[in-house]
Structure 1
């Protein structure tokens, strides 16, 4: 029997620290439910003391997710730990994750504490966390740049104080695989009570070695890997969950270990996280990129057709992809369409949802010769995560050219009425956005705009992602259409609907409080 490696997912905590990513409570619960289907061992749900929103999200996950351990992060400060416990106490399997920096650099310039003060703070706060929660994880932040002798001392003391998991972070992604493996081995050999704790690692990807470092740690005794879906996280991100898991599965004989991850859920999980966060997965991304199982070279195609193993070390099915693309068109019936939705993994959709998705599919099929699985999944995701449609883009008309000012006229549905407005702008998209702002009466800052092709060919769908900002809150949404101006307008109006809904809910919560 091979050794089990525990998969600690930090998408909802460190992953949310990706620049320009902000997840609300519903977003986090939705992702957590999928992580439970993926069968991760641990979900780090957030940093409860960071904000009231994060507290409520961690609490909601603790109340609704049953199988994984639910973790809340806390600084080595009693009030953070108390706050984490208040959110986590509803969990079936709670864990408080306490951290404090141990490198000379961090202690001097960030904490402004002496080493003995850090040691005492680590011990005192781990003891306090253990008095509240049955499981405590301790992380010496910036461990790989810490003095090893001091680090051994802190780790030993933390275990004696009650920590049952010791996490070793390569906080700034500075290590190399051989160096990091030796570092983990040093901890195993020099911390007398290390057998009373699980060694975990948390590697960042600043030099592109997070996955390699994590695997080197496994070779040297680490039993838990902290990672994020699609490699999300601070700066260059974390070790990518999907790469860690599939490396272990594909090279199980080499690593002599396994995970309990349901790998067939990987693609769905990756797509969901990408959709909700608005962070796109690069085409050549290992395991989950759209090109990961694509073969363009004639030599490669010939080899794969004769024997898959010539150019594929994993099967598409093992991560949740299908080999064949089912082509659906305008003559397809509703029954066949719904059956295909089930084959794609979208079961349990309400009748209203499926009716709306089918209608949009038919509209798209009138514009395209072939509708691919990517097209259908894009339509489904936009419908599933659709907020209440307060404003609707009914019609638009643009006038543009290289010698004239771009103008846009829009008709926006609101409360059973049609609001018409027009505006000029720097190009047809900018003009359309400004006209929508005038019609809705909501001014925002466009924080990000991204467009990509879904599928291929001249009639491919354009998928637009916009991020808007108002009062330091960011709202992300998508729009799809064969017309990129329409896709842009739909994405922008959907983001405004999210903003409107969020502020409306805030007002309701404040009213209820009084």
Structure 2
């Protein structure tokens, strides 16, 4: 990454600032463990992300630890931590990123009349003074400082210009004008950047950045408009993960710039062939499924069912595809997997699908694949993706499913006999319920008492056919904390048990407790 803002501010290079691990993780139910954050950060670093916003260090020990460890491990990317314009936040952030090869402190403060009055309870001149004092404090600790005007698109332009000038004078090297609530439209957002860059006398000393939310479905459009207005850093998340309706999706802005270079002559350093791999990993660790028709990385992004479309594709793929599947990491060819496939073929197939598992994880996944192949005639790519994502999501568990048998049918009551391994100790319980799923969840609650409320239970078939794997999503909420987890198995009841148990494990991590018995306390 260039050290001087001027080296890219007047070129067509665009820096990619990924905030999946900070803004993305703020999505309700999308919390990640330390191990999961490290895995995501490593992939982002490898695929060419310029700046990784690793967390908000002052908010918790867990966030501080994640930012610190990612800072130590990053090989090329700048590692940023978020901080409010307060001495405590800034000092904590500086401590968290100090081991990074390229550390950054990202400070923010609200600048819109609405936020200053009701959120900060401060007058504009007080906010301006906060910028001068605290940006300077951050710059004395770290050489790379980004300043953000929270709710920038609803700020008064004269005051916004004064704030930008003050932040640059105090040492900010990147200026972010975010569309915090997804309110702007593209032409308006572009004009904000053009106006600020023209009116602020020292604007040439900083890189300008875009950060757009998707409340009106305009995050990517606004992002590209901001770049056209002079911004040279894009803040985004994998799969568009983020608060409320999410953020601008990394994969969409990267491919928009690549495919439409004729209309938008800008480029990033992202290896686009890793986009699908990143999407699958973030979906797995966050337990947020990717919608089938999601641009670039959705299951149907390169699928054609219409006869007219199929005919056109057979004659020339460009009739209905504006990019190749390979350019984003999708393989056209398919290695058919079945019960006679060996470890080597299995490992190679997983590599094709974007997974590189360690030896232990590979053995566990292979054993589950063999079991699946014995129960299904054909194991599709989607089956393997669901299987491995499920395996990744169930690593580092305190609670594990050992066995399950269910009595169901028209003659009730339905019952479930369940054996769990809880912190290495096996426990068994039989429970009844209003249907087999209710019986299973009652048995889990008896073995692992807790006060969580089931907010979501959702089932979908991974592939077609009566022998298709079921993928179950479960969301649990307790004391204002919400987590979502998935489980996959050809048996819907087993998948349901795995998903519920995975959600309990996540809830334990979120509450910072090490023993399942304490969930209800």
TM-score by length of 2: 0.92
- 2:247 paired residue among 227, 238, 247: 238
Output one character per residue of 1:365-412: Cα deviation in whole Å (capped at 9) or x when no partner.
Answer: 122121011211222233344334654433323333467443222233
Q: In structure 2, how many angstroms separate the alpha carbons of the residues matched to 1:475 and 1:145?
A: 32
Corresponding residue number in structure 1 for 2:355: 346
Structure 2 CA distance for partners of 1:449 and 1:175, relative to 1, 3 Å:
same
Q: In structure 2, how many angstroms separate the alpha carbons of the residues matched to 1:212 and 1:497?
A: 38
Q: In structure 1, how many angstroms separate the alpha carbons of the residues matched to 2:119 and 2:361?
A: 51
Deviates more, 1:303-312 or 1:17-26: 17-26
**1:37–1:265 CA contact under 8 A, matched in 2:** no
Q: In structure 2, how many angstroms separate the alpha carbons of the residues matched to 1:234 and 1:339?
A: 36
Structure 2 CA distance for partners of 1:415 and 1:162, relative to 1, 3 Å:
closer
Deviation at 1:23, TM superposition (A): 2.0
Where do residues 304-323 of structure 1 align in structure 2 (5 Å cutoff)?
Answer: 304-323=313-332
- 1:361 paired residue among 350, 358, 369: 369
Corresponding residue number in structure 2 for 1:436: 444
**1:49–1:80 CA contact under 8 A, matched in 2:** yes
Q: In structure 1, how many angstroms separate the alpha carbons of the residues matched to 2:398 and 2:119?
A: 46
Structure 2 CA distance for partners of 1:499 and 1:114, relative to 1, 3 Å:
closer
Match of 2:143, SS state, is coil
**1:137–1:165 CA contact under 8 A, matched in 2:** yes
Where do residues 71-470 of structure 1 align in structure 2 (5 Å cutoff)?
Answer: 71-347=80-356, 349-350=358-359, 352-388=360-396, 391-401=399-409, 404-413=412-421, 419-441=427-449, 444-469=452-477
Deviation at 1:500, TM superposition (A): 6.2
Structure 2 CA distance for partners of 1:190 and 1:226, relative to 1, 3 Å:
same
Q: In structure 2, how many angstroms separate the alpha carbons of the residues matched to 1:493 and 1:234?
A: 25
Alignment of 1:38 with 2:47, yes or no, is yes
Structure 2 CA distance for partners of 1:179 and 1:389, relative to 1, 3 Å:
closer
Deviation at 1:464, TM superposition (A): 1.6
Q: In structure 1, how many angstroms separate the alpha carbons of the residues matched to 2:153 and 2:129?
A: 20
Output one character per residue of 1:113-134: Cα deviation in whole Å (capped at 9) or x when no partner.
Answer: 1111111111111111101110
5+ residue gaps, structure 2, are 1-7, 516-521
Output one character per residue of 1:193-216: Cα deviation in whole Å (capped at 9) or x when no partner.
Answer: 111000101111111001000101
Structure 2 CA distance for partners of 1:335 and 1:439, relative to 1, 3 Å:
same
Output one character per residue of 1:284-316: Cα deviation in whole Å (capped at 9) or x when no partner.
Answer: 111111001100001101111111100000111
Structure 2 CA distance for partners of 1:55 and 1:388, relative to 1, 3 Å:
closer
Match of 2:296, SS state, is coil
Structure 2 CA distance for partners of 1:448 and 1:57, relative to 1, 3 Å:
farther
**2:29–2:483 CA contact under 8 A, matched in 1:** no
Structure 2 CA distance for partners of 1:103 and 1:328, relative to 1, 3 Å:
same
Deviation at 1:349, TM superposition (A): 2.5
Structure 2 CA distance for partners of 1:82 and 1:503, relative to 1, 3 Å:
closer
Structure 2 CA distance for partners of 1:332 and 1:23, relative to 1, 3 Å:
closer
Deviation at 1:497, TM superposition (A): 4.8
Q: In structure 1, how many angstroms separate the alpha carbons of the residues matched to 2:99 and 2:157?
A: 38
Output one character per residue of 1:84-131: Cα deviation in whole Å (capped at 9) or x when no partner.
Answer: 111111111111111111111111111111111111111111111101
Deviates more, 1:115-124 or 1:14-23: 14-23
**2:53–2:79 CA contact under 8 A, matched in 1:** yes
Q: In structure 1, how many angstroms separate the alpha carbons of the residues matched to 2:397 and 2:157?
A: 57
Q: In structure 2, how many angstroms separate the alpha carbons of the residues matched to 1:218 and 1:416?
A: 53
Q: In structure 2, how many angstroms separate the alpha carbons of the residues matched to 1:343 and 1:106?
A: 48
Output one character per residue of 1:457-477: Cα deviation in whole Å (capped at 9) or x when no partner.
Answer: 222111123344556555544
Deviation at 1:418, TM superposition (A): 5.4
Number of residues paired by the alignment?
Answer: 506
Match of 1:252, SS state, is coil
Deviation at 1:56, TM superposition (A): 1.2
**1:387–1:501 CA contact under 8 A, matched in 2:** no
Structure 2 CA distance for partners of 1:423 and 1:56, relative to 1, 3 Å:
same
Q: In structure 2, how many angstroms separate the alpha carbons of the residues matched to 1:18 and 1:288?
A: 20
5+ residue gaps, structure 1, are 508-514
Corresponding residue number in structure 2 for 1:511: none
Q: In structure 2, how many angstroms separate the alpha carbons of the residues matched to 1:158 and 1:299?
A: 56
Q: In structure 2, how many angstroms separate the alpha carbons of the residues matched to 1:301 and 1:49?
A: 53
- 2:23 paired residue among 14, 37, 56: 14
Deviates more, 1:196-205 or 1:322-331: 322-331
Structure 2 CA distance for partners of 1:145 and 1:339, relative to 1, 3 Å:
closer
Output one character per residue of 1:483-514: Cα deviation in whole Å (capped at 9) or x when no partner.
Answer: 1111111222344455668889758xxxxxxx
**1:387–1:497 CA contact under 8 A, matched in 2:** no
Alignment of 1:483 with 2:483, yes or no, is no
TM-score by length of 1: 0.93
Corresponding residue number in structure 1 for 2:71: 62
Deviates more, 1:372-381 or 1:119-128: 372-381
